[in-house]
Structure 1
């Protein structure tokens, strides 16, 4: 272990050691000034600070008033002192300005960082009709502010970690201290504190380091760009994790049905919200099983269809040289290619690709007798069903699960589909995320949590928080609709 080095009284030696710690980078600015016959040196990284503030907050006060101590006359929202070179180098990388003096072994550090983050705007991935239209940004402090603005409670707690031996990424754990389960919070903090990695750039990297079931296709942590959604989970006793430089906030622990809930469910009347939520949950089944059902019917169980529909399908398959399984696999892969191309290309080109892929290529493959008309319809409905999920990661997981289901249907027909769905739901029932049942409130069955799962009851009926996270306080509303009793 290297010895921790401290500043000496030699100004030139101190400057040289700071430059050495920062590998003699050329954006480290060194300015010498003289005040009251004393030599002072100002060091800062010009790419991390507001250069115009250096003169007005540091240099001008030092030259104007030479009688007072430096700490009393310079300006800055955070002023500290240190005599350790490691603290100096870390402060410089955090956007601080450092003042070194001749015959003095203590440095003065003041924060003048240049935060050139983008402004708060509505997230493009989670748009809603009613409700707030602000979203998280890349600044950690801004994201914490957006949460504090919604949860003005003295129990709102923030705990910071630094992860990554090279990137020194700042990570914040946010929760309501009087609601969140203490054991759960301690376990999350333990996992994060034990991470050993060179770099962390996003919440995705952090998720892979702390999740307990890395092989499952189902996401165990919900990522959101909406402050209103993240704040609502805080009030249920859950935990938010914010990574500096990333506009998404990770919510944990989470259940399966949370991925099919949207903020608009609570901005509409409860009947409308429940209707759309049921459609989303059904879309999960459709995305997994619809191509497999088509394959099973065509290959084994054609007698289940009315004669008119069966005749139409048989006619469309007459000149197709491939098995239904090959058709389905090919179209699913083409769908994924078009989706990836639309995401990576600029918006005007992406729209053109969507039209070309949906109309021109679809029509061409049917006319060339490579794919049947019915398969185009089936894959289109499957794609729409997977895109219904408010969180895109769950929609992708549903499309992935469709592949083994199609293989089972091509071998065993309806029995293969039934067997595959049984295995999927058995896995969901067994899966746990941070000690919380993933398929709650169905496995284990919790009657009290059904009020806000695949349906949503009126707000005045939901007097208790979900019990799956074992919050410290179950009651969240008390007496409801008092006006009706008077």
Structure 2
């Protein structure tokens, strides 16, 4: 009896599942159907689609007191005041010519007359299917359906709350623009248009996400970006088939060349000037609605190590800071490993006085240098994550006080030595100099295998680790562009903005990414010279 009851229960569940699947398939097929001429039939179909959706409003009214119509919109996404003043009131008001001139009534049946004479809104579109209606009202644009018409009208009156334009906290500068992208893609496009005012700046929009219907815009400068690169970016975006896109990182994971590499192959930024500069160099930008982070492809290792402020300071100062940044990058990757290797295998490399001091500080420590370094590195990363996740008012204080208190207590308790605390602290400070957060995370991740190699093989292990990392970087590509370009392969013409930053007047040519390209971006021979006369 119990087995039979289970079989009956499973059969009932299977029947319910099949019915649910059939109903969902029926709804999906109904979305592609064209609108009917009968208004009641359209309303019934839309109410079944938006079943249990209390925020969807169906506002019935009469156009000029005679034609039945309904206004559809979602609360919170549409501008209600403009909707009342420019749509409902003009449509519901009876015209004086209605009874005197029948010809006017016949002309008013056309969609052109309806949109031009009765609705005082700049942008009106025709919608002909249920899917068009759903897309428009989901974007905040109210839709008007009229009886005896097999099409509706979408009114561009979208309005929702958005964040004010402000400086990105992760990419702040001393000198430079203070504006950054926000979560509204329309505002972000306008910010780019404000920087690059040429009609050659193209914006190609597409929708990604079966459920979210997220707007994604591919931006490039026609005649500057290589057509092969543009086509490749379009192909990779069109291949994405997912139910939802909530942030640009979703797209980044689908379009990168090597998903198993710790190094990012797609650059992201919140700054308008950074994205504009890459567009002017021939790159392609990808804007995603709902996030302030804009993607740039292709990218290189050296692009990730450049800060926007490098181009707003004097060239010699920017070059010095860039060299200091590269030194800190090497320190953040190798300093703990070098300390462990030298302390474990290569005592002869340390001066005698310093070696005696370090041996005295390590005498009460029960762990080898490798375990000691691992403990401190894990603790430092935990404190960093705690500082990021805690509220801003207490996050910085907790991370700094926690590092001081825990470090001092660990030294006094004889768990770690004072030199190891200094090494880990210097490594953490050096890692903060990486301009891009995702590139800094890659270096933080690689620090641990480098520690293991140093603890097992000493300096030989560090050399093997460096060879493996450089080999991996040489094999990486970003949309077909070598990751270490223009240094490997060497392109002397593009080395003006890699290890050094030459003056602005020396950047006469654009970086050569791939294929044919628009070579020159400024006139030659513009070096400042007081002896030159004006023309």
TM range (shorter): over 0.9
Mapped partners of 1:406, 1:368: distance in 2? 24
Mapped partners of 2:309, 2:151: distance in 1? 56
Residue 189 of structure 1 corresponds to 234
Q: Quick check: which has more Rg, 1 or 2?
A: 2
Residue 171 of structure 1 contacts residue 242 of structure 1 at CA under 8 Å; is this kept in 2? yes
Residue 20 of structure 1 corresponds to 48
Mapped partners of 2:229, 2:210: distance in 1? 26
Q: CA deviation at 1:386?
A: 1.0
1:8 is the counterpart of 2:36: yes
Aligned pair partner of 1:466 in 494, 511, 519:
511
What SS does the corresponding residue of 1:115 show, helix, strand or coil?
A: coil
Using structure 2 for the length normalisation, give the TM-score. 0.88
Residue 22 of structure 1 contacts residue 89 of structure 1 at CA under 8 Å; is this kept in 2? no
Aligned pair partner of 1:322 in 357, 367, 374:
367
Render the CA deviation track for 1:144-188: whole Å, top value 9, x for unaligned: 111111112221111111111111111011011111111111111
Mapped partners of 1:148, 1:124: distance in 2? 23
Q: Aligned runs of 1:17-416 on 2, under 5 Å? A: 17-34=45-62, 35-66=64-95, 67=98, 69-71=113-115, 72-416=117-461
Report the number of matched residues: 486
What SS does the corresponding residue of 1:273 show, helix, strand or coil?
A: helix
Residue 236 of structure 1 contacts residue 471 of structure 1 at CA under 8 Å; is this kept in 2? no
Give me the CA root mean square deviation: 1.5
Gaps of 5+ in 2: 1-24, 99-107
Give the number of the structure with larger relative contact order, counting CA–CA contacts within 8 Å between residues 6 or more apart.
1
Q: CA deviation at 1:471?
A: 5.7
Residue 218 of structure 2 contacts residue 287 of structure 2 at CA under 8 Å; is this kept in 1? yes
Mapped partners of 1:201, 1:126: distance in 2? 22
Higher deviation after alignment, 103-112 or 217-226: 103-112
Residue 72 of structure 2 contacts residue 142 of structure 2 at CA under 8 Å; is this kept in 1? yes
What SS does the corresponding residue of 2:169 show, helix, strand or coil?
A: coil
Mapped partners of 1:83, 1:396: distance in 2? 49
Mapped partners of 2:375, 2:120: distance in 1? 65
Q: CA deviation at 1:59?
A: 1.0
Residue 343 of structure 1 contacts residue 350 of structure 1 at CA under 8 Å; is this kept in 2? yes
Mapped partners of 1:273, 1:480: distance in 2? 22
Higher deviation after alignment, 146-155 or 234-243: 146-155
Mapped partners of 2:247, 2:165: distance in 1? 19
Q: CA deviation at 1:6?
A: 2.1
Gaps of 5+ in 1: none
